[in-house]
């Protein structure tokens, strides 16, 4: 059974699904969803984000680990909306494989996360994800999540 979802999902709707809050909510909007199969989310990168104070002074670069976190959060939304039994439950980031960073992300960029469900076995979910800026591949990885 699937949730009935009205797209796009804005930040308020995302926060009703994910437990993350400022400064760690890494997805701003969900623009496409095929429940249980795929999802597309957006993150607008702005200079106002506090990690740019230290990463790096004078040369702000989006931390790769936070790009992966945004992909994982988007995948968590996909998992939660695919299975109503996960509503209100935490979905934990359990692993990452084959992560590659292809391009630097700067303030002013809009990242587009695209994730596809690979499989679910028991309480472990595996997804393939890619992040794009201006239709250019930025990051790709296989992500795993689990839930208690």
Catalytic residue numbers, as ranges:
55
3-state SS, one letter per residue, for 77-132:
HHHHHHCHHHCCCCCEEEEEEEEEECCCCCCCCEEEEEEEEEEEECCEEEEEEEEE
Q: Which of 59, 61, 79, 67 is nearest to 42 (CA)?
A: 67
């Amino acid at each position: 059974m699937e949730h009935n979802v009205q797209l796009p999902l804005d930040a308020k709707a995302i926060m009703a699904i994910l437990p993350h809050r400022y400064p760690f909510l890494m997805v701003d909007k969900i623009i496409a969803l095929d429940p249980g199969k795929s999802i597309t989310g957006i993150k607008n990168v702005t200079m106002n984000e506090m990690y740019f104070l230290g990463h790096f002074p004078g040369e702000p670069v989006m931390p790769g680990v936070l790009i992966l976190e945004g992909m994982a959060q988007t995948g968590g939304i996909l998992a939660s909306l695919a299975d109503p039994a996960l509503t209100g439950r935490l979905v934990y980031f359990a692993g990452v494989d084959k992560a590659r960073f292809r391009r630097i992300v700067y303030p002013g960029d809009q990242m587009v996360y695209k994730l596809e469900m690979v499989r679910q076995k028991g309480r472990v979910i595996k997804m393939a994800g890619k992040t794009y800026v201006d239709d250019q591949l930025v990051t790709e990885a296989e992500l795993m999540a689990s839930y208690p």
